[in-house]
Structure formats: structure tokens, C-alpha cells
Chains A and B, each alone.
Chain A
Amino acid sequence: MTQAQVQKQARSSHMEYLPDMEVLKDSDIARQVLSQMKAYDYQVYSAADVKQALSADSRGLEDFKALLSPAAAPFLEEMARKAQEETRKHFGNSVYLFTPLYISNYCENYCVYCGFNCRNKIRRAKLDLDQIEQEMKAIAATGLEEILILTGESRRMSDVSYIGEACRLAARYFKMVGLEVYPMNTEDYAYLHQCGADYVTVFQETYNPDKYEMLHLAGHKRIFPYRMDAQERALRGGMRGVAFAALLGLDDFRKDAFATGLHAYLLQRKYPQAEISFSCPRLRPITGEQETSGETPAVQNRMNPVSERELLQIMCAYRLFLPFAGMTISTRERAGFRDHVIGLAATKISAGVSTGIGSHSETIEEQGDDQFEIADGRNLQEICQAIRGRGLQPVMNDYVFL
């Protein structure tokens, strides 16, 4: 046995549910995603397959596979044109705006690539309800109407009722409240929906269970299948929509992107009313001058970084496969990239972002460190100006809570 295998054996199983975790016994979505991802061999696709996928009227899984393959790389310009057409058809010239609000950065997981992980000696903080309200007031005053509430993944430090109270406050100041918190059970999602939240984002990080095991060494988050069924539980809890993402570059990004798209596709087929969307975070290659995005170089080097070109290919493939899906462009990307992908494939962009704790309101001294360094620090006005500059329309809200 290798040393790595010995170490792995010493860790708890990442495939076994912990006692408090709900199991969706009647769902085989995760199984389908994993088996199809395993079978996906992107090397077998040719230029002819890509051309066929591009010219197809409606695109299926085989088309999606071809568009994610290396054979599609030379067709990126054409993919971008088609993607822009589809984005226009389904979203017109609207670009939706939101901002994330980090209310706590306590985390009890050990994810080797993340700035918030429990072994990192960062300043931890959790906002109390007054502070959350101050932060929300400050954000709402900028004109934003959609908020995404985030916590580090610690059920102990930020329990469901704490998040629920944050949602109730948010519903007073914002038209749309999204959540990006640790995965929870259906009844928890139902409770948070009652509190005013209507959209749940869960990053699977990687869909490769073996790689996942190596990257998530401890904590609730280590349990791979519980995380994978989070979106389905959220929908069963009554949420209007769910968002999907792999942190591209943690593992083979083509397979992860395929699994992400397939996961969304299968869930929407099962729950046709569900709104789905994608986020597209990536680990980027390290060059001399380039900023890292919070990950240590040692970690990044073990990964499979994704170039801007490759990221755009993935975004276009998502758009061409599921033209009706929303797509959010991360603040990890530089302004020049973000400005060009809105209206092309992305439909939603954040503005006035800070990933620290207590950093929106002037009356709160920033207490907790940032999760990652952002590459686009523009405020709402600046982002709106950039959107209009591209002939697009900034939209603060297109949503009614029912």
C-alpha cells in the first residue's frame, strides 16, 4: 500500500452519511451523474462532432460532450457567437445584478484549497443580527435588490435558525434572497424558504469522489453524496431555483464541467418548474505576475488550472446545452473578462463585492478575513456603466417571492 492509501484508510469514509444527514433513497440523480461522467471520454470527439453540435437546433448530451472536448477549442469564436445568440434569445439584453454578503466565516471543514478552512489561522467572525441589518442597509442603499447570503460551513457557529433570521432581515431589504451555505436537510430548506430565501447555491467543488476525498479531509463537507443531493433537497423544500458549480481545475475540468451540466439537466427534467443556474469558478494557472485567488501555490500546482480560453469554452458549452439556464460570472475574474462574457454567456454579475465579514457598513469594523481575493472590485455604478457600455441593460430585480 502506498503512503497515500494508508493515509486515506485512516480517514473516515467520505461516502457514508453522518447520522443527522437526510438520505434521498428514492433519487438516483447522483448515481446517474457519476456513471455518465465516468463514461465520458472527451478524446473521442472530432471536429465533425463539434460542427454538428454547433449547427444543431436543440442540443443534447452528446452535443454537450463534444462542445466540452478539446476538439471544440478551435471553434471557440463560433461557439461564442452561437452562445451570444442563445443568451439574447432567452435573456434579451438583461444583465442581473446582485452582491454576496458574508455573515460568518467560521468553518469546521478542512478543504485544502480554501482560505476559510478550519486549519487556516484567519480572523474568524460572525455578525450578530444588528450588524447583519447594518450591512444589508448599506448594500440596499446602493440600489441593489438581490442578495446572496453566505456563511462558512459551520452548522455549530451559524445554525439554521441564525441563517433564517438573516433571511427574514434580507427579505425586508431585498426583492430576492439567495443562499450559499452548507448543505442541509429538506426541512431546513423549507424553513429557510419560509423565512424568505428562494434560491440555493451549492458548489460541488469536484464531482470526482476520489479527488473530493483527498481535498476535503475533515468535517461535514467531507460527505460527498450528501453534498451532491443538496440541490434536490432544496427543491423539495420549496426553493424556486438552485445553482450548480464545480471549482474548475480541482480535478479534470472537462469531466467536472460535464457533470455540473448533467446534474443541472437531470434535476430540471425531474423538477421542470425549477430554475437552474451555473457559477463558473476556476483555479487559474500561476504566472509570474498573476494574482492567486486565495489558494496557496502549492495547492494550485497539484491541480489542473483552467485558462481564460478554456473557461469561456465551458461557459459557452453550458449556454449551448441549456440555453435557458442562468449563469453567474465570478468576481475572481478580471473586469475585462467579466465585461465581455455578460450578454455572451453569463446573465448575472456581482457588484460591490467584498468577501470579508462586516465590510459593507462603515459602522462595523471589518472583523473577519476574506475568503479569497477578488479581481474585480468595482462598485454598482461602475458595473452598471460597463453593462450599458455594451448595449445591455442592468436589471436589479426580475422576481417576485410567492
Chain B
Amino acid sequence: MKTDKLTIGGHEFDSRFILGSGKYSVKLIEAAVKQAGAQIITLALRRANSAGEGNILDYIPEGVTLLPNTSGARNAEEAIRIARLARELGCGDFVKIEVIRDSKYLLPDNYETIRATEVLAKEGFIVMPYMYPDLNAARDLRDAGAAAVMPLASPIGSNKGLSTRDFIRILVDEIDLPIIVDAGIGRPSQACEAMEMGVDAIMANTAIATAGDIPAMAEAFKKAIEAGRAAYLSGPGRVIEQGGAASSPLTGFLQEEEEA
């Protein structure tokens, strides 16, 4: 287990928990780092360009990798502009692409996301696109130079868990990049289930931000993610459906033909 690192764009991380950025508070960041052991924290550039008290950058401890996101972008061009601005502000080469042109559901636009990924990857960014879990889009993102793909589990902020379970599983099977589940994870058990499936990391925000006890919930997520990862690595047993597989096999009638 000691060598089990999460590698994104050549950078290694021990933690498989990433703190999202939608609902930010100082308390949440502290809890994410201390109790959940987060080594990557996303931040919305639109929050980070604030002066004075509002500048969330001041609250992120040394040694934590910043993952600036492009929230606020409604198309590829806007995402590209925000990513470049983030780099100019000293936020590093990581960027999480978010292109959203729907203020109600906040669903990502895969097509525009692919376009932005292509440009930014060429410019040397470590691009982590937030996406709707569609296999073809994920392949295009990979081909465009993405360093990971970040499929949503269910609508952002909904805390509904793995609504897209089967489609994320397909990405786990088919895409040889880190798969990071982003958005919709509401409970530690859901994070655990995703990790068991073979997802590489979990991004969460609302679930912890809105918990009654933020530090305790942060710690619960850490444990759940670790448990899920351990289960995945140890190879979960086969799920036996409806009364067990051994009773009256359908192929029991076959006679072994003797060789002449």
C-alpha cells in the first residue's frame, strides 16, 4: 500500500481526496487539509482574484497543490482565458476545466471542454476536465491531452451519489487515465463505493461544507476513500445474485463426450 500513489501529470500524491471549491470557507479548507489529508484543493479563480478577506488563496496552506478551475466559463474561449489568467497569478500549471452554460443544472459542456483541453494541453497545462461521463467524450479528452478525467456522479451540489455509476464504470474500464469522480458525492459511503469500483480519487465539497460537524465529516470521507481504495486493490469478491450461482447450473445437462 505504501507505493500506492495517485499520479497526475507526473505529480504524485498520497491522498485520493480532492477538495472542491463551490462552497468555500476557511473552516472547510482547514478541515480538508487536517482531517481529510487533502493534498489538492481546487479554487475558483473568480473567488481567488479577490482582495483582502475574500482572497481564498491566503487560507490555503503551503505544500498543498492548487487546482484552479475555470468556473464562470460558458465556452472554450472563456475557459482558456481563465486558465491563462490563473497561471499568470501564480497558481501553477494544473487546471480543472469547467465549461458550463446552464445555470440551473450546472452540467458541463463536453464539447466545449474538449476544445479547451486541446488548446491548454498544448500550452503545457496539466488539464483535468470536469465532464459528463460519456465514453466518446472521455476518449476525445484523452486524445486532446487531458491528464485525468473528472466525470460527475450526479448533478453538482445534489449529494445524490453515484447516479452515473454504470457510465463511470465504463470509463474506469476503458480510459487509461486517472478517473476522478467529481460532483454529487453526498456521503462517505458513496465515496467508498466509487473507490471500490476502481475510481482513482474523489472530489467533494458540498457534502463536507454542509455537514453539521465539518471536521468530523472530513475525517469520515478520508476513511471511506481509504477503505474503498483498499477494497479495490484487494479485489472484491464476486457478487452472487439471486440464491447463489451453484444451484442447478443451466449447463448441467451436458454430457462429456468421450474421446474415441
Interface residues, chain A, CB within 8 Å of chain B?
88-94, 143, 145, 175, 268, 272-276, 322, 324, 384, 393-400, 402
Contact B103 A89 (CB under 8 A): no
Known interface pairs A92-B210, A396-B54, A397-B50; A272-B103 also in contact (CB < 8 Å): yes
Q: Could you give, for residues 23-36 of chain B, a 1 whenever the CB lies within 8 Å of some chain A CB and a 0 otherwise?
A: 11110000000000
**Closest CB of chain B to A32's CB: distance in Å?**
18
Q: Which of B24, B49, B72, B104 is A324 in contact with, Cβ under 8 Å?
A: B104
| Complex: chain A residue closest to B158, CB-CB | A89
Q: What class of interface size applies to chain B in its complex with A?
A: 35 or more
Contact A93 B25 (CB under 8 A): yes
> Taking the complex as formed, is B117 at the interface, i.e. its CB lies under 8 A from any CB of chain A?
no
Distance between Cα atoms of A93 and B104 in the complex (Å)? 19
**Closest CB of chain A to B132's CB: distance in Å?**
15
How many contacts A-B (CB < 8 Å)? 85
Q: Could you give, for residues 67-83 of chain B, a 1 whenever the CB lies within 8 Å of some chain A CB and a 0 otherwise?
A: 00000111000100110
Which A residues are in CB contact (< 8 Å) with B100?
A: 273
Which B residues are in CB contact (< 8 Å) with A94?
A: 23-25
Q: Which of A91, A92, A268, A402 is B73 in contact with, Cβ under 8 Å?
A: A402
Which A residues are in CB contact (< 8 Å) with B157?
A: 89-90
| Complex: chain B residue closest to A274, CB-CB | B103
**Closest CB of chain A to B25's CB: distance in Å?**
5
Distance between Cα atoms of A66 and B113 in the complex (Å)? 40
Which B residues are in CB contact (< 8 Å) with A400?
A: 45-46, 49, 72, 82, 85
Which A residues are in CB contact (< 8 Å) with B46?
A: 397-400
> Taking the complex as formed, is B102 at the interface, i.e. its CB lies under 8 A from any CB of chain A?
yes
Distance between Cα atoms of A88 and B209 in the complex (Å)? 9
Known interface pairs A273-B102, A324-B104; A398-B47 also in contact (CB < 8 Å): yes
Give 8 CB contacts A-B under 8 Å. Answer: A92-B24, A93-B209, A268-B103, A394-B54, A396-B54, A397-B47, A398-B47, A400-B46
Contact A396 B50 (CB under 8 A): yes
Is chain A's binding surface mostly helix, strand, loop or mixed? loop
> Taking the complex as formed, is B240 at the interface, i.e. its CB lies under 8 A from any CB of chain A?
no
**Closest CB of chain B to A85's CB: distance in Å?**
9
Which A residues are in CB contact (< 8 Å) with B206?
A: 89, 92
Distance between Cα atoms of A143 and B205 in the complex (Å)? 27
Known interface pairs A92-B24, A273-B101, A402-B82; A395-B45 also in contact (CB < 8 Å): no
Contact B25 A89 (CB under 8 A): no
Contact B209 A273 (CB under 8 A): no
Which B residues are in CB contact (< 8 Å) with A143?
A: 51-53
Which A residues are in CB contact (< 8 Å) with B72?
A: 399-400, 402
Q: Which of B50, B74, B209, B210 is A145 in contact with, Cβ under 8 Å?
A: B50
Contact A275 B103 (CB under 8 A): yes
Contact B22 A92 (CB under 8 A): yes
> Taking the complex as formed, is B189 at the interface, i.e. its CB lies under 8 A from any CB of chain A?
no
Distance between Cα atoms of A88 and B157 in the complex (Å)? 9
Which B residues are in CB contact (< 8 Å) with A398?
A: 44, 46-47
Which A residues are in CB contact (< 8 Å) with B103?
A: 268, 272-276, 324
Contact B49 A89 (CB under 8 A): no
Q: Which of A175, A275, A396, A399 is B53 in contact with, Cβ under 8 Å?
A: A396
Which residues of B from 63 to 112 have beta carbons under 8 Å from A?
Answer: 72-74, 78, 81-82, 85, 100-104, 106
| Complex: chain B residue closest to A324, CB-CB | B104
Distance between Cα atoms of A324 and B158 in the complex (Å)? 11
**Closest CB of chain A to B59's CB: distance in Å?**
11
**Closest CB of chain A to B79's CB: distance in Å?**
9
Known interface pairs A89-B158, A324-B103, A402-B82; A145-B24 also in contact (CB < 8 Å): no
**Closest CB of chain A to B184's CB: distance in Å?**
11
